[in-house]
Structure 1
Amino acid sequence: MAAFLPLLTEENSPLFYALNRIGPIILDAQDSIPLPETPQHSYLLVDPNIPVDAQDVASWLDVGVEKVIVPLSLVKDLAGTIPADRLILLLDVANVGAFSDKIRGGVSGVLLKTPSIDLDTISSVAKFFEGSSIFVLSTSDSLITPSNIRELQGINATLVLPESQLTLGPTSSSKLNVAEAFIAGIVSDRPDGLFPTVVTSETGHSLGLVYSSRQSIKESIITGKGVYQSRKHGLWRKGETSGATQDVVRIRLDCDSDSLEFRVLQHGTGFCHLNRQSCFSEASGLPALEKTLRSRFENAPKGSYTKRLFDDAKLLQSKIMEEADELCTAETKEDVAFEAADLFYFALTKCIAMGVGLSDIEQSLDKKAKKISRRPGHAKPQWIKQESAAISPPTTSSALLPTAVVDGPIRMRTSDLANTTPETRSQLLRRPVLKSDEMIEKVKPIVEAVRTRGDEALLELTAKFDKAQMTSTVIFPPFGPETMAIDEGVRKAIDVAYSNIYKFHAAQTTGETLTVETMPGVVCSRFARPIARVGLYVPGGTAILPSTALMLGIPAQVAGCKEIVLATPPRADGSISPEVMYVAKLVGASAILKAGGAQAVAAMAYGTRTVPKVDKIFGPGNQWVTAAKMLVQNDTDALVSIDMPAGPSEVLVIADHTANPAFVAADLLSQAEHGIDSQVVLLAVNITSEHLVAIEKEVDEQARALSRVDIVRQSIGKSITVKTATVEEAIAFSNDYAPEHLILHLENASEKVQYIDNAGSVFVGPYTPESCGDYASGTNHTLPTNGYARQFSGVNTLSFQKHITSQEITAAGLGNLGPVVATLADCEGLQAHANAVNIRLRQSRLP
């Protein structure tokens, strides 16, 4: 509690600045209400004669006024509208009467105007307004004394002193010295009469413990400099000899009024005589970062990265946006802390470059916290557009995406092809715009670091992104049994899945050479050879994804690839999940790369001292992985290809009157839970409105039972139900959409498969959930997304093979074919081609 509150009518005077160092100030607006840059913790006394409404009060509080002191007539209108902790009731002792509970509960304090300091009257008012702060303003011309301050303090009331009764000079018959008024409320429990004083930085971080005397406090208040009392040497003006002076920002009493806190702006080498910022230790955290950045700004070492940031505003801007994006996508506690630290570093660098320190940021936060008028908090248009481009399909006026309602039903939006224009139908078929060029630019530095610095960069990036500190990122067989210790039930499930997937992929290759005699004496052949070295990317880290390791590893094993490098993010302790390790052994992995993201892709593409280079990279991943795969496949130095372009997971379900609503809903949700950008489409073939409502009800009820309901709510909210009149119309739409997963809940579903032209994988009938294909039926779950099922197949055995052609021609055969070839070569003007044939034909005619 402050010793007293000053009441001022004039700002920016020496008296004003001195008073602002020791506590709140009441600003008396006598004729009008100004809206200045209000000092911290200021109160505003409203003249009862000035017409004021709730909007006016809110605007004053929004610009930084701590509390507003208003008459009773106004409190009646404001109570319940303006927060009680921001209102003080102005009350004349002559008009004290009964007050309603609304009035008592609508304010946090009472400013009592009284002609004399009558402790009994003040106590009775305090009792009635129990829990509220009591401030007392005497209207008497008599000079208030320090004893009056102490008396009021004894009944937990605070004296208000008008500016006319205060001075920076000595106390006189008409004015009280400001410092003496402040000291009046302090009580020392030490024999020497000194007051323990905690000295802190502007942001409240401790610098040291000293002692103050009444004399030193007075001088600090008047001069605004740090002045203390040395128990050995007397008055101690900080920095008088060392140059490490202090500007006093604020002096506060503790709750018992027997010790002090000095918040100061420290100059020079620091507070401690050991030339450190603090007597307790070197600064850490944000204060240490601020100190370092200020030092770098003033005298950065040539070539240092921080100096480069200070000198290159565009680079600094790009890094702030990059780190903000990484923080937005961070999902674990450790990742959030790591990315936030990076963002703080770059953001504070920007602040220091603009002359903004931590104390300025905190003051801005405090000022924002005082606002009672709040904006809706929506993102600005450019960020809304960016978000929708990343996760939402393009829309037209007839296909707008609803805003998710947290407690509303979880349902898809609906369109009817019968009422849809060709333009709207085209929009329904479109996926999100994947900004691959932007992502490629983001991953370029990562890929380049691994390409040029190899293992050193890989270890650094694994520590940064995967949060695992390791000395090596590669494991070679034989793999230790302890790394594959898994639950027996899980092992048996993996073995069954392995067997089914192996059988299906083994059947895809016969190993036979294709031989065709195209004309007499001309035999053409085609034979398969495995891609020698393949890289398999298995997403993970905290997740366990043995299924992806199976789907990629088995066809590589069946195809006969000589080297199989399996890359997966490590866990925090540097280990790999034992389930993935077990699969790695089953498929014969020749190396395991404990790394994720773009750095893992780069390591496999270029190779390092420890990581084997591969010829083709397979596997799903986030946008960083996808961008890195696209980047390296276009680099001739890498000489590496990839399996297929990738996008968000997707499912399209075609359902007719035979469809079980619970089954349909479960299939839709099985893909919707992958992420907020998952693509889910239901084609409802001539089903009744009651049937469709039953499906929607199942979607809502099943979604709410899922642990990932927040993700599902967003992905389902952006998904679509399209009504069609016939199965043929639905299949035509599906073929145009080319889904990753296509599920047929149709009467005689197996008969409809022959009409499917574009799909990654088809799931036929009510008892064929997409989950089976994801895990263990035998087909592969690494499938083309984003409409690429028009051009690409899912991963299969042939994906891990290349086909070589050969031809063998006899002399007689060349006699038949040669003239044709020579004629075509001459037509194209390629004489050497024609000569290669003619020279043989001439020689074969020689006797």
Structure 2
Amino acid sequence: MLIPIGGERLAATTYLPDVIYDGLEIDGFNHVNAWVNVPSGVDVGDVLDKGAKKAIVPLSATRVEELSQYPADRLAIASSSVALADLERFVGHVSVFIVQATTSTESEQAALVSFAKRVQSTLLPTGGICQVVLSVPSADTVFIAQQHKVGIDVAIDVDQLTLEASSSDKLNLGEAFMACVISDRADGLIPTMVVDQSNTALGLVYSSVQSVAESLKIGQGVYQSRSRGLWHKGATSGATQTLVAIDFDCDADTLRFIVQQHGAGFCHLNTRHCFGKSAGLTVLEQTLKQRKANAPAGSYTARLFKDQELLTAKIKEEAEEVCEATEKQDIAWEAADLLYFLMTKCVANDVSLADIEANLDKKARKVSRRPGNAKAKFIAQSGEATKANGKPAEPPKATEQQGAPVKDTSRIQMNSYTFNELDAASRSKLLLRPIINSDDIIARVQPIMKAVREQGDAAILDYTSKFDQVKLSTTCIKAPFPQESMILDAATKAAIDQAYDNIYAFHDAQMDRETLIVETMPGVVCSRFSRPIEKVGLYVPGGTAVLPSSALMLGIPAKVAGCSEIILATPPRKDGSIVPEVMYVAHKIGASMVVTAGGAQAVAALAYGTETIPKVDKICGPGNQYVTAAKMVAQNDTSCLVSIDMPAGPSEVLVVADATSNPAYVASDLLSQAEHGVDSQVVLVAVGLDSEQTKAIENEIHEQASRLPRVDIVRQSIAKSYLVHVDTIEDALAYSNAYAPEHLILHNDNAEGVVRLVNNAGSVFVGPYSPESCGDYASGTNHTLPTYGYSRMYSGVNTHTFLKHITSQQLTADGLNRLGDTVMRLAEVERLEAHRNAVAIRVRDIRKL
């Protein structure tokens, strides 16, 4: 593919999919296809925020870790020479490698081709492959096509290009662009999809090198008719097209023209496209434009165009109705009204759908994020009490005009359903958790893990400084731990000790200490025995949090299993220390060190090892979405050979309650999980409750939640949670098994007898005096449990999490004689002669054949 350099000097290049802009004023930047050389002294993030498709940073002035905060698909690295060895360290951090060469030897070309194949072997997290671009002083179409064939794009200065016929010193832009396009037709024409600015197909035509060159020259849709030759679209009908962009598909055998269609439409039947009539927002925009130009008498739309106050009032009215709507059909109906009035305002001010979509795309390219808070007057009206990141919002400050801050006192209430009234689709939908899209998180995590793998301790210290704002001189605290790091008050120490004893007792009882021996037939003895996983890494969330319970739940089963090395990893406090509660637990479980780092960098240190931190065989423990993504990336990287405990998602609980339950107890159990985070989900399955009994629980939820310090979080999580009415306890457990909760709490008559019906759950809490909080801290069971429905196939962390089981077999001569014919026959069936022979050679001796 051709990529012009200095696109601002040749307007037609803005039609191409990729153009390099050099020395462009950032504030004036508005080209969606532009790669921008980052000027000296300008931040990469600023260039990306302005909407650059890619920011080009120079190799000589860039460190890998400086780029890790930005998405790789938005970054390009430029080298002044074919310095492939220096470019290698940026693989995985950028999507384009630009190399400059005044001359190109065969060995340089071969090395560049090899490099291109290597970097293109893995798709980017956001889709597509990495590009390798060779920047040359000049080129012809043969050279461009040759480079494209081996996976290399060509960049040349626009001064070497022309929109006129090719000359001895300049190359026609259309010919250069089409050098990479492949045709499988005898006439050499290229199928071309023509689409509007919303990417809606208008029709299928054909293009040639000549028609593309002409289209780029005049900035209009020009195609190649199979019967009439060069076809200037709309030349006779008036339905011309303004060219917006031109590109080709992944196989380079189909073109796409993006155009602004004028006149009646693309099709000769006077329709917008060749596939019948349009629908939706496109038709609305056309109708509004027609009304603006020539509205019928009495047209309501014409009245709106003339009366801006009425139009503004209608937009506010419909926005309010959308906010108040709760049912799917009502929301869609009100949203349609709102879109009508919004589009009327846009058309009245000559704003098109394409303008709106362009702004959406530009906003989507921002890499810096706004806090997302609503204005104070809307917070006061709607009761919004949290920021977009789920943390409590700062209440508006009182002023003379504003008065005292408005406190949200609206009712905190779950959604409610009756199971028997739901159709099959609604029942299935109810079982779904909120969708978690981890692609962006993984894309951010991978560069961090790669940096730790390559740079070791230096990367750990750098990321701890960057993310935790803590500058450390070492990555870990090694045992024996200093006594001053474990100083606790007597009550806290006693609580940890009692929790330790209970958890130890329960997990010690799980230990496999006996070898399983089975004689499957005379002379054939099979056995299975357990061995500890040697080195384990335990992630304990921390920083500002104090979570000795997580250290206990992970460290005790590892100690019981007999792991030879236990390594804790937890983020440091602002002074660089680790909370004494966690240090005390680390001492009790016999940890060899505590890694003073958190997030993806801590997981990477455990997975790959550094100069001071040993590589482990398994990583366990909860964490935020970055920790979870890092664990998944590590497990999928076969080169590091590490396993993890389980996938993880937001915390959740399902409570089963009947008429014998205590409403206050039920509400408290639901809220104990709802306060974890805005993405937590709690479910109440009500067995035969009437309206008064249901209302009693709902009242308790509102009253208890209103008194909680984390009420702002609870408001959001309860809004995503629900109550479902069922008729019988069997129906309740069937629903619970389908949902497969992390925590299942049974508040019903004969709760102990109901446990037999449980098939899927992380942990079960039986009866009114078994709150989930006890399992979280000190009853003895483990609180690291499968969420998001994974309890269908995963267990919570237990002693076996840190064990592996090995089988053995021993056969006597008589046993082999009895079994030999079976093994030989099966080996023959599978055509594995060496397998058959290994038995046959022994059987001959036994049978003295």
TM-score by length of 1: 0.55
C-alpha deviation, 1:473, in angstroms = 1.3
5 Å matches for 1:448-847?
A: 448-846=450-848
In 1, Cα distance between the equivalents of 2:45 and 2:720? Answer: 47
Q: 1:299 and 1:317 mapped to 2: Cα distance? A: 9
Relative to 1, partners in 2 of residues 1:317 and 1:686: Cα closer, same or farther, differing over 3 Å? same
Matched, 1:304 2:52: no
Q: 1:816 to 1:663 in 2, by over 3 A?
A: same
Asked whether the 8 Å contact 2:65–2:451 carries over to 1, the reply is: no
The answer to whether the 8 A contact 1:300-1:307 is kept is no
- The 5 A counterparts of 1:191-270 are none
Structure 1 SS opposite 2:818: helix
Residues 548-567 of structure 1: CA deviation (Å, up to 9, x unaligned) = 00000000000000000100
C-alpha distance 820-302 of structure 1, shift in aligned 2 (>3 A): closer
Q: Distance in 2 between matches of 1:742 and 1:385?
A: 40
Gap change, CA 1:752 and 1:313, over 3 Å in 2:
closer
Identify if the C-alpha distance between structure 1 residues 778 and 309 changes in structure 2 by more than 3 Å, giving closer, same or farther. closer
> Against the structure 1 CA distance between its residues 300 and 537, is the aligned structure 2 distance closer, same or farther, given a 3 Å change threshold?
closer
CA, structure 1 residues 624+290, in 2 after alignment: closer, same or farther (shift >3 Å)?
closer
Contact 2:383–2:410, Cα closer than 8 Å, also in 1: no
SS in 1 for 2:809: strand
1:309 and 1:315 in contact (8 A); partners too: no
Asked if the contact 1:738–1:759 (Cα under 8 Å) also holds between the matched residues in 2, the reply is: yes
- Rg: which structure is higher? 1
Given residue 558 of structure 1, which amino acid in structure 2 is its aligned partner? V
- Cα distance, 1:659–1:554 mapped onto 2, change above 3 Å: same
Once residues 403 and 752 of structure 1 are traced to their aligned partners in structure 2, the CA distance between those partners, rounded to angstroms, is 41
The whole-number CA distance in structure 2 between the counterparts of 1:593 and 1:692 is 49
Partner amino acid, structure 1, of 2:418: D
Cα 1:542–1:726 change in 2 (3 A) is: same
2:436 match: 434
DSSP-derived class of the 1:303 partner: helix
Counterpart-to-counterpart distance in 1, 2:719 and 2:817: 69
Cα distance between partner residues in 1 of 2:821 and 2:785: 47
The letter for the 1-side match of 2:661 is A
**Number of positions where the alignment pairs a residue of Structure 1 with one of Structure 2:** 491
Q: CA deviation at 1:439?
A: 2.0
Q: Which amino acid aligns with 1:496?
A: Q
RMSD: 3.5
Unaligned runs of 5+ in 2: 1-39, 77-311, 324-334, 336-355, 366-381, 386-407
- Distance in 2 separating the partners of 1:749 and 1:534: 37
1:304 is matched by which residue type in structure 2? A
2:725 alignment partner, SS class: strand
Could you give the per-residue CA deviations for residues 435-458 of structure 1, whole angstroms, max 9, x where no partner exists?
Answer: 133322220001100011111101
Give the Cα–Cα distance (whole angstroms) in 2 for the partners of residues 477 and 725 of structure 1. 57
Change (3 A) 1:648 1:302: closer
Contact 2:71 2:443 in 1 (8 A): no
- For residue 307 of structure 1, report the CA deviation from its aligned partner: 14
Kindly indicate whether the alpha-carbon contact (under 8 Å) linking 1:655 and 1:683 is maintained by their aligned counterparts in 2. Answer: yes
Inter-partner Cα distance in structure 2 for 1:648 and 1:545 = 17
Distance 1:474 1:512 in 2: 37
Tell me if the contact between 1:551 and 1:781 (Cα under 8 Å) persists in the aligned partners. Answer: yes
Tell me if the contact between 2:71 and 2:444 (Cα under 8 Å) persists in the aligned partners.
no
CA distance in 2, matches of 1:833, 1:642: 35
In the aligned structure 2, how far is the partner of 1:767 from the partner of 1:787? 26
Range 593-602 or range 431-440, more displaced: 431-440
Contact 1:449 / 1:457 at 8 angstroms: preserved in 2? yes
1:420 to 410, 419, 422: 422
Aligned counterparts, 1:310-321, within 5 A: none
In structure 1, stretches of 5+ residues that fail to align are: 1-286, 320-371, 387-401
Report the TM-score when normalising by structure 2.
Answer: 0.55
Q: Distance in 1 between matches of 2:755 and 2:70?
A: 58
How far the C-alpha of 1:679 sits from its partner, in A, is: 1.1
> What is the rounded CA distance, in whole Å, between the counterparts of 1:597 and 1:696 in structure 2?
38
C-alpha distance in 2, partners of 1:541/1:701?
A: 32
Distance in 2 (CA, whole Å) between partners of 1:817 and 1:317 is: 63
1:296-375 map, 5 Å:
303-305=60-62
Q: Could you tell me how far apart the structure 1 residues matched to 2:692 and 2:652 are?
A: 26
For 1:103, the equivalent position in structure 2 comes to none
Structure 2 CA distance for partners of 1:309 and 1:559, relative to 1, 3 Å: closer
The 1:439–1:315 alpha-carbon spacing in structure 2 relative to 1, beyond 3 Å, is closer
Q: Is the 8 A contact 2:504 2:560 kept in 1?
A: yes
The offset of 1:706, in angstroms, is 0.8
Q: Deviations over 1:601-620 (max 9, x none)?
A: 00000000001110000001
Q: What secondary structure is seen at the aligned counterpart in 2 of 1:753?
A: helix
